[in-house]
Structure 1
Amino acid sequence: MAVPLGAFVAGAVVALLVGVFSKVHDPTLDGTTTLGFKDVRDMKVAVSTVIGVLAVGQVVGALWLYGKLGIRAPSWLGMAHRASGSIALLLAVFVGYHCIWAFGFQTGTVHGYEVPVRGIVHEVLACAVFGAVVVKVVAVRSKRAPGWFLPVAGGLLFALLIVVVLTSAGWYLDAKGWPSR
């Protein structure tokens, strides 16, 4: 139990530190990119949608690799699973950086508008995503962890990612449609 406990404590510390930095940092668009989209928010919606698709692919890949789909996994699937997980993580860091740097952790009234509960839930769980990444990395790398730890760590990261994507990109796509370039 020492490995999971240590991983969850380390993940909680990382999530807390990300949240504190996001709250005390003065948001600015300096040092951000739009990747050709109209603005940073539109870029984040597009990239977050890709992250959501990759996250679903990670769950399907994991189920397939562990024989839970009833069909034999091809030999290349393990490498593809690791590669797509790494890409999802890199994209999450990219989007997280832009969230923190351009918008920060917003509560109360910002620019005359009350921050919605959806936004606060998104911000809190987005910080938790980075803590869950720590937990998942420990679960993948540890040889002493109990068998239940990797699926729990993966499930936690997946659930957090999906809720974060739905409370940002999902909400935006529903309210405004696909972002413009």
Structure 2
Amino acid sequence: MAVPLTAFAVGAVVAVLLGVLGKAHDPTLSGTTTLGFSTVLAMKTVLSVVIGVLAVGQVVGALWLYGKLGIAAPSWLGSAHRVSGTVALLLAVFVGYHCLWSLGLESGTYGHGEKVPTRTVVHGVLGCVVFGAIVVKVVAVRSKRAPGWFLPLAGGLLFALLIAVVLTSAGWYLTEKGWPS
């Protein structure tokens, strides 16, 4: 139990530190990019959809690799699973940076007195927790001493959090504004 408990403790510290940074930092667009999209939000929306698709692919790939789909996994699947997981992680770090740097962790009211929407607060908190869950998942993948239940739990938790973050950001944006330009 030492490995899972330590991983969850370190993940919690990472999540809290990101939340503190998000609250303490004055949001700015300086140091951000749109990758050619009209706004940072538009760019984050598209990349978040890609992250969501990759997360679904990660779950399907893991189920396939561990023989839970009843179909033999092809020899290339392990490599594809690792590469797509790495791409999802790198995109999540890129999007997370842009969230915290350009928007911060919003709660309560904006500077002009308007109440911050609940969706925004939930998204920000979940976004910080995702990075704690990433730490837990990396430990679960790399540890040789972790119990057998730890990796599926860590992967399932990370998947659920990623989907919640995508739905509270990209899902909202696509519903309200449509596909970004």
Q: Secondary structure at the match of 1:32?
A: coil
Q: Secondary structure at the match of 1:159?
A: helix
Match of 1:64 in 2: 64
Match of 1:54 in 2: 54
Distance in 1 of aligned mates of 2:95 and 2:130: 12
Instruction: Give the aligned CA root-mean-square deviation in angstroms.
Output: 0.7
Shift of 1:176: 1.0
Match of 2:168 in 1: 167
If the length of structure 1 is used for normalisation, what is the TM-score? 0.98
Deviations 1:46-101 (A, max 9, x none): 10000000000000000000001110000000000000000000000000000000
Match of 1:96 in 2: 96
Shift of 1:109: 1.9
Match of 1:114 in 2: 115
Q: Secondary structure at the match of 1:75?
A: coil
Q: Secondary structure at the match of 1:78?
A: helix
Of all paired residues, the percent bearing the same amino acid is 76
Q: Which structure 2 segments of 5+ residues have no match?
A: none
Deviations 1:130-152 (A, max 9, x none): 00000000000000000000000
Match of 1:31 in 2: 31
Q: Secondary structure at the match of 1:97?
A: helix
Which amino acid is 2:36 matched to? Answer: G
Match of 1:133 in 2: 134
Shift of 1:111: 4.9
Q: Secondary structure at the match of 1:114?
A: coil
Q: Which structure 1 segments of 5+ residues have no match?
A: none
**How many positions carry a matched residue from both structures?**
180
- 1:22 maps onto 2:26 in alignment: no
Match of 2:2 in 1: 2
Match of 2:147 in 1: 146
Distance in 1 of aligned mates of 2:172 and 2:68: 32
Deviations 1:125-181 (A, max 9, x none): 10000000000000000000000000000000000000000000011101111011x
Distance in 2 of aligned mates of 1:121 and 1:30: 25
If the length of structure 2 is used for normalisation, what is the TM-score? 0.98
